[in-house]
Amino acid sequence: MSERKGTFLTPQVEQGSPANTPAAATPATPVPRVALIGANGHGRWHRRVLGPLHDAGRLRLVALVDTRPLEDEPAAPVPPDARVFTDHRAMLSAVAPDVVVICTPPHTHLPIARDALTAGADLLLEKPPVLCTAEHEELAGALATTGRVAQVGFQALGSAALSALTDAVAAGRLGTVTGIATVAAWQRPDAYYARAPWAGRRQLDGRPVLDGALANPLAHAVMQCLAVAEAVTGGPVEPAAIEVERYRVRPIEVDDTAVLRVRLRQGPPIVAAVTLAGEDFVPGEVIVTGDAGRAVLEYPTDRLLLPGEAEPRQVPGRRGLLENLIDHRADPRVPLIAPLARTAPFTAVLTAVQAAPEPTLLDGGLVEAVGDGPQRVRRIPGVNDVLRRAAEGGALPTELGVPWAVAPWQPDPAGRKQEDTATPLQHRRSEQD
């Protein structure tokens, strides 16, 4: 996502006028009362989703929370009876919503989710839901204890194009699947890393943040691959081994370029080759290779190419995660698209990335700057070709002989800390950057 998420929520004074008394709903057709925590930044996207559902009577938007004054969103004006708060705890106490949408920085998700669950709300929790397996297990325990449910904001999982791909895989149209990969090449300007105090950070105030390419903007690419692997195995997947090469082109603490390889306990290997310092724009492709054919899904645009088809075709239709959550609340037989449990493999990947050393800095002649001021971008010449070769060959840059590549990091099964294989030159921060 190009917009930043809402700011970290700290106790403040409540703002705004009291809400009107909620409209009575019949027992057969309860209208859930919904609150949004983190209403600015990317929260404006959620407001654009909430607005039409509120107008159609499918939900009542009763509260919005952010530490800063609400940014204007002409496409989704705030309902006149919705209350505005600067403290999520004050909102939960005063409003007691049925559903809470959490769109705050990733390192704040768990404590805010705990508060919302304790208050009796179901959750739509932005991705990444949490930043490690221990937090994932804690949140799962809180769901079990409170009897609530959580949907995670991997909206691309609701794509009809993804369903068409997984149906083709499950039907054997590709034969035996031998590899799943994703490649994406985006650009982010200097302003992207100035958007919030947690941007580009590994930790903030003693808590992991992990605002890297794999964990945040290109997390959908990784999750789409894991969803395809589910179709291959016929059930949940579990990483058995993880290798990752992580790089950065600025003095940030996280990766903006990475190649990740995940070997599953059951199923084909997965390779994710992504960058925010790309040359030509690659929106994001999921490449599935089998012994009887190859499929490519451009997941942001829902364009799909299956074996035997000459050109990619548009597969329209996405099921909204909030609508799906509302349907599930009304009838639990309606399965959630992205329940917390389904994201456990993704969180396992983040656990490994969080434990990895600081990404290798690429600078000097390896990087070129384009533009000036806040909109300056830094890109790696030749990186698109490297990522494409990695994705299509299932290889890491070191295995491809890329001159600037550094040996991959992988978790030690015995739990010992690995030695960092990068040289001091590769780890230095550029004084000019």
Find, among 294, 283, 256, 281, the residue nearest to 180 by Cα: 294
Contact call for residues 81 and 19 (beta carbons, < 8 A): yes
The pLDDT score that the predictor gives to residue 208 is 80
The pLDDT score that the predictor gives to residue 204 is 81
The pLDDT score that the predictor gives to residue 211 is 85
Cis peptide before 27, with omega less than 30 degrees from 0?
Answer: no
Contact call for residues 391 and 273 (beta carbons, < 8 A): yes
Domains, the chain, in order of start with CATH, read 33-148 (3.40.50.720), 159-315+340-427 (3.30.360.10)
What is the C-alpha to C-alpha distance for residues 219 and 272, in angstroms, rounded to an integer?
10
Instruction: Spell out where 16-97 has E strands.
Output: 33-37, 60-65, 83-85
Contact call for residues 22 and 62 (beta carbons, < 8 A): yes
Consecutive H or E run containing 305: strand 303-305
Find, among 173, 354, 362, the residue nearest to 251 by Cα: 362
Contact call for residues 75 and 45 (beta carbons, < 8 A): no
What is the C-alpha to C-alpha distance for residues 90 and 96, in angstroms, rounded to an integer?
10
Type of residue found at 57: G
- Helix ranges, 259-382 (H): 321-330, 344-355
Hey, what's the torsion of the CAs at 165, 169, 172, 177, to 10 degrees?
130
Find, among 38, 64, 290, 231, the residue nearest to 153 by Cα: 38
The pLDDT score that the predictor gives to residue 23 is 40
What is the C-alpha to C-alpha distance for residues 340 and 249, in angstroms, rounded to an integer?
33
Place of tokens 């505005």: 84
The pLDDT score that the predictor gives to residue 240 is 96
Residue 23: phi and psi, rounded to 5, are -65, 140
The pLDDT score that the predictor gives to residue 404 is 97
Hey, what's the torsion of the CAs at 26, 35, 136, 270, to 10 degrees?
100
Residue 276: phi and psi, rounded to 5, are -105, 15
The contacts of residue 57 (CB under 8 Å, 6+ apart) are 31
For 15, 261, 394, 423, the CA distances from 419, given in Å and listed in that order, are 51, 20, 25, 11
The pLDDT score that the predictor gives to residue 413 is 63
Type of residue found at 240: A
Task: Per-residue pLDDT tens, the chain, 433 aa: give them.
Answer: 333 343 333 223 233 333 333 343 434 558 999 999 999 999 999 999 999 999 999 999 999 999 999 999 999 999 999 999 999 999 999 999 999 999 999 999 999 999 999 999 999 999 999 999 999 999 999 999 999 999 999 999 999 999 999 999 999 999 999 999 999 999 999 999 998 888 888 888 777 888 899 999 999 999 999 999 999 999 999 999 999 999 999 999 999 999 999 999 999 999 999 999 999 999 999 999 999 999 999 999 999 999 999 999 999 999 999 999 999 999 999 999 999 999 999 999 999 999 999 999 999 999 999 999 999 999 999 999 999 999 999 999 999 999 999 999 998 765 444 444 333 223 322 322 3
The contacts of residue 111 (CB under 8 Å, 6+ apart) are none
C-alpha of 419 from chain center: 29
What is the C-alpha to C-alpha distance for residues 128 and 390, in angstroms, rounded to an integer?
25
The pLDDT score that the predictor gives to residue 8 is 31
The pLDDT score that the predictor gives to residue 123 is 98
Q: Would you state the structure tokens that stand for residue 267, as one six-digit string?
A: 């199923």
Contact call for residues 119 and 96 (beta carbons, < 8 A): yes
Instruction: Return the axis-axis angle of helices 109-118 and 88-95, rounded to nearest 10°.
Output: 20
Contact call for residues 236 and 397 (beta carbons, < 8 A): no
Half-sphere exposure of 263 toward its Cβ, with a 13 Å CA cutoff?
Answer: 7
